[in-house]
């Protein structure tokens, strides 16, 4: 297995598109944007940052150039709170689908480093009742550090950080949340391509193993939301079995109770799949990111 098998696998999946997609995946990341932190009152950083406001949401600052690192690291500024959060443009757009309110009971099952949840809170510009779960102790520490770097105490105090197995929330917290983000562990092919050791040891069964974990997490998220509750399921994987086929599996497992929701941002910026949407760097100049917005319907 290894590098040759990897390329053959994705060549078979993407056909003539694979060469261009592969080139985009190993190129310097160009889709990074800065999501402005409304909790930071000090605006002196703006004179040092070259960018322009997104037409979709003024909270997103787009780079004015295609440099590998278009914005300074937010920690470079001596401020009470970091002035912006850097992440891929596709992730910033997807996080806007998390339409939180002060009354929302919100959960993020695989939260670290916290980017999408922070963006959702930036959009709300206020506290939300949130449970941010990260099973990895090291990543959980990073999550807590990011929360304290970006959010004031009155917002942080409404957030509960846990380190549980996300597959258990459906059993222990059934029908508890209005909105759940499931940014699931995935094959992360871009990371594999940029890590020669991982590429040398790659095997097709990697995706199959991850897909079983993803589906258990997705079922847990579905069982943990209330009727009419929403799930945002996302991965940075390229393979359908980790993306749209997971949604197909859920629809079959919970017949008549799953509604797939569209959104103008997804229609505008992402490629449509049988269920959900995918952004890829060869055509969308951002991602990879798959996301699907779901609503729980039918009887509880």
pLDDT tens digits for 220-245?
Answer: 999 999 999 999 999 999 999 999 99
Question: pLDDT, tens digit, for every residue of 139-185?
Answer: 999 999 999 999 999 999 999 999 999 999 999 999 999 999 999 99
Query: Number of structural domains, the chain?
Result: 1
Question: pLDDT tier at 298 (50, 70, 90 boundaries)?
Answer: confident
Q: Is residue 208 part of a domain?
A: yes
Residue 58 resides in a domain: no
Tell me whether residue 72 is in a domain.
Answer: no
**236 annotated active-site:** yes
Question: Of 236, 211, 233, whose CA–CA distance to 221 is shortest?
Answer: 233
Residue 49 domain flag: no
Catalytic one of 110, 140, 236, 292:
236
Is residue 300 scored above 60 in pLDDT?
Answer: no
Exposure string over 36-66, b if 16+ CB within 10 A, otherwise e: bbebbeeeebeeebebeebeebebbbbbeee
pLDDT score of 68 more than 80: no
Q: Which two tokens stand for residue 20?
A: 């261009």
Cis check for the bond before 113: say yes or no (omega within 30 of 0): yes
pLDDT in tens, 16-28: 999 999 999 999 8
Domain presence at residue 14: yes
- Asked if residue 285 belongs to a domain, the reply is yes
Collapsed DSSP state (helix, strand, coil) of residue 240: helix
Residue 52 lies in a domain: no
| Strand, coil or helix: 292 | strand
Whole-model pTM above 0.85? yes
Strands (E), the chain: 32-36, 51-53, 60-63, 84-88, 105-108, 129-133, 159-162, 177-183, 225-235, 258-261, 271-272, 277-279, 289-296
Mean pLDDT of the chain: 95
Beta pairing class for 177-183 and 129-133: unpaired
**DSSP 3-state of 197:** helix
Let me know if residue 292 belongs to a domain: yes
Residues of the chain with pLDDT > 70, as a percent, come to 98
Beta-strand runs (E) in 164-217: 177-183
Contact status, residue 49 vs residue 72, Cβ threshold 8 Å: yes
In contact, 138 and 186? CB cutoff 8 Å? no
Q: What is the DSSP secondary structure assignment for residue 279, as one 8-state letter?
A: E
What CATH number has the domain bearing residue 114?
A: 3.40.50.150
93: domain range?
Answer: 3-29+88-296
Q: Are 128 and 105 in contact (CB under 8 A)?
A: no
Number of H helices, E strands in the chain: 12, 13
């Amino acid at each position: 297995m290894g590098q040759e098998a990897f390329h053959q696998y994705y060549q078979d999946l993407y056909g003539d598109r694979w060469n261009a997609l592969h080139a985009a995946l190993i190129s310097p990341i160009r889709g990074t944007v800065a999501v402005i932190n409304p909790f930071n009152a000090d605006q002196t950083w703006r004179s040092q940052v070259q960018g322009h406001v997104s037409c979709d949401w003024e909270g997103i600052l787009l780079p004015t150039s295609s440099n590998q690192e278009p914005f300074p690291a937010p920690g470079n500024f001596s401020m009470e709170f970091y002035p912006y959060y850097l992440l891929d443009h596709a992730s910033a757009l997807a996080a806007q689908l998390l339409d939180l309110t002060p009354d929302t009971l919100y959960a993020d099952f695989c939260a670290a480093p916290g980017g999408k949840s922070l963006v959702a809170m930036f959009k709300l510009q206020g506290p939300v009742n949130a449970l941010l779960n990260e099973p990895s102790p090291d990543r959980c520490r990073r999550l807590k550090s990011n929360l304290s770097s970006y959010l004031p105490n009155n917002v942080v105090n409404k957030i509960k950080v846990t380190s549980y197995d996300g597959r258990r929330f459906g059993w222990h917290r059934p029908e508890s949340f209005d909105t759940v983000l499931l940014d699931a562990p995935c094959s992360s092919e871009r990371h594999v391509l940029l890590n020669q050791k991982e590429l040398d040891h790659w095997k097709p069964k990697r995706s199959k193993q991850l897909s079983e974990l993803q589906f258990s997490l997705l079922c847990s998220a579905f069982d943990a939301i209330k009727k009419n509750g929403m799930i945002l399921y996302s991965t940075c994987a390229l393979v359908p079995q980790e993306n749209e086929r997971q949604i197909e599996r859920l629809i079959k497992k919970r017949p008549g109770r799953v509604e797939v929701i569209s959104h103008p941002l997804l229609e505008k910026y992402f490629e449509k799949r049988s269920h959900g949407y995918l952004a890829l760097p060869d055509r969308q100049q951002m991602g990879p990111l798959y996301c699907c917005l779901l609503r729980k319907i039918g009887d509880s």
